[in-house]
Amino acid sequence: MADPGLVLDTACLLAYSEGAETVGEQIVQVADRGQSVIVPALCLAEAYRRVTTDGWRLLDILGDLDQVVVAPVAHDMCMFLGGWSRTLDSMDLAQTALEAARATTPIMTDRRELLGEVLPKEWPVIDL
């Protein structure tokens, strides 16, 4: 697996499923650098829960891209996910923060301020 270059949250996945070019452009930029894009499994599951019927196909495609890695939830993550989700009020956003912290990787999101509750304020964030 290539070194991670970006973590996408649920909002990014939903935007991608609606055809937002900015998300696709970020994926291409990361792939061009030879890096991978991390999609937390909880974000992908939440995106599938909230997506319109037309967007399912794009989520399927995203998960199959060579440069995309769907990060599973492992036992050793549960303590952090539980604690951070209390602060963030979202299990999927907690996994986003944890994946970024584990790989010291930027996050693409529309929830910069909220992530600052568990990550340093200067964490690299690409606004959606």
Write the CATH number for 11. Answer: 3.40.50.1010
Structure tokens at 100: 């970024």
Structural domain boundaries enclosing 106: 4-127
pTM: 0.94
Measure the CA–CA gap between 120 and 101, rounded to whole angstroms.
Answer: 10
Total domains, the chain: 1
Angle at which helices 56-64 and 10-17 cross, to 10°: 120
Measure the CA–CA gap between 75 and 58, rounded to whole angstroms.
Answer: 29
Measure the CA–CA gap between 49 and 43, rounded to whole angstroms.
Answer: 10
Strand-pair partners of 70 = 39
Give pLDDT tens digits for 65-111: 999 999 999 999 999 999 999 999 999 999 999 999 999 999 999 99
